[in-house]
Amino acid sequence: MSLCGGIGRARDDWELLRPLLVEISFNNQPMSADRKYEIECQAIGSRPPAKITWWMGNLELHGHSQKVSEDGNVSISLLTITPTREDHGKALSCRAINELVRNGVRETAMKLNVFCKYTKGA
């Protein structure tokens, strides 16, 4: 098996490819503190399908699911998150990994825009 330039072949009919594109579907919309949200990440083009992980700074987040499209071209992860006001301004990253190829990691991030309800005396 050759892994030259991140592309190789595990079998004669199966090409190894790193993730080509990683996207978060949320559009940096404002969030309310202490409310639950579902945020989707898609990794496109990886062979075999990429494993998706979520990060806030250096902390790996859990509480997400992952599925792969029927053709195997798209990995989709859905993260359930309940941000706090302390999360405002933090980067939420989606990382797609194909460990079988060199440079097989691609990621994207969004900045959390978290608002909280003002309470008198707080």
Please write the tens of the pLDDT for every residue from 52-99: 999 999 999 998 999 999 999 999 999 999 999 999 999 999 999 999
Q: Is 21-115 a CATH 3.30.230.70 domain?
A: no
Q: What token pair was written down for 60?
A: 């790996």
What's the rounded Cα separation, in Å, for the pair 49 and 3? 17
pLDDT class of 122 with cuts at 50, 70, 90: low
Is the pLDDT at 117 greater than 90? The verdict is no
Name residues whose C-beta falls within 8 Å of residue 34's C-beta, 6 or more positions apart in sequence: 82, 83, 84, 116
Q: What is the DSSP letter of 17?
A: B
Predicted model pTM: 0.83
Q: Read off the pLDDT of residues 15-55 as tens digits, 9 standing for 90 and up.
A: 999 999 999 999 778 999 999 999 999 999 999 999 999 99
Is the pLDDT at 3 greater than 60? The verdict is no
Distance of CA 100 to the CA centre of its chain: 18
Biggest distance spanned by C-alpha atoms of the chain: 68
- Angle among Cα 109, 22, 5 to the nearest 5 degrees reads 115
Q: What token pair was written down for 56?
A: 């806030």
Q: Is 99 exposed, middle or buried (0-12, 13-18, 19+ CB in 10 A)?
A: exposed
